[in-house]
Amino acid sequence: KQEVTQIPAALSVPEGENLVLNCSFTDSAIYNLQWFRQDPGKGLTSLLLIQSSQREQTSGRLNASLDKSSGRSTLYIAASQPGDSATYLCAVSRTGANSKLTFGKGITLSVRP
């Protein structure tokens, strides 16, 4: 059974800092991995999707990497801003697609002005 772990559960950094959020998964037979952002009381917004054949994806100040063999993904946020404060979740889908996604419990990020 796939398990997705995100540690630490919470993180507080000063504005402007570059930071890395980690995601690990136990079964490397994944179809893709997604990173999401969730603001309090809101739904999830997809940030980046990495297919299993890819190593990384970039969008603006965000960069996500994937290392299937080690079961790890990282989300890099450059020059963090208070508006980046949110919960960040990663989710993996199994090989074969069209099936269940398994989510991590998320990392709650607070960026201090």
Partner 1 sequence: EAQVTQNPRYLITVTGKKLTVTCSQNMNHEYMSWYRQDPGLGLRQIYYSMNVEVTDKGDVPEGYKVSRKEKRNFPLILESPSPNQTSLYFCASTILGIGELFFGEGSRLTVL
Residues of this chain, 24-83, that bind partner 1 according to CB under 8 A: 31-32, 34, 36, 41-46, 49
Minimal distance, residue 99 CB to partner 1, in Å:
8
Report how many helices (DSSP H) and strands (DSSP E) the chain contains, helices first: 0, 11
Q: Which is nearer to partner 1, 34 or 65 (CB)?
A: 34
In angstroms, rounded to a whole number, what is the distance separating the alpha carbons of residues 69 and 62?
Answer: 22
Q: Which is nearer to partner 1, 32 or 80 (CB)?
A: 32
In angstroms, rounded to a whole number, what is the distance separating the alpha carbons of residues 93 and 14?
Answer: 33
* Closest listed residue to residue 33, CA positions, set 62, 67, 7, 60: 67
Q: Which positions lie near partner 1, rule CB under 8 A?
A: 31-32, 34, 36, 41-46, 49, 89, 91, 93, 97-101, 103-106
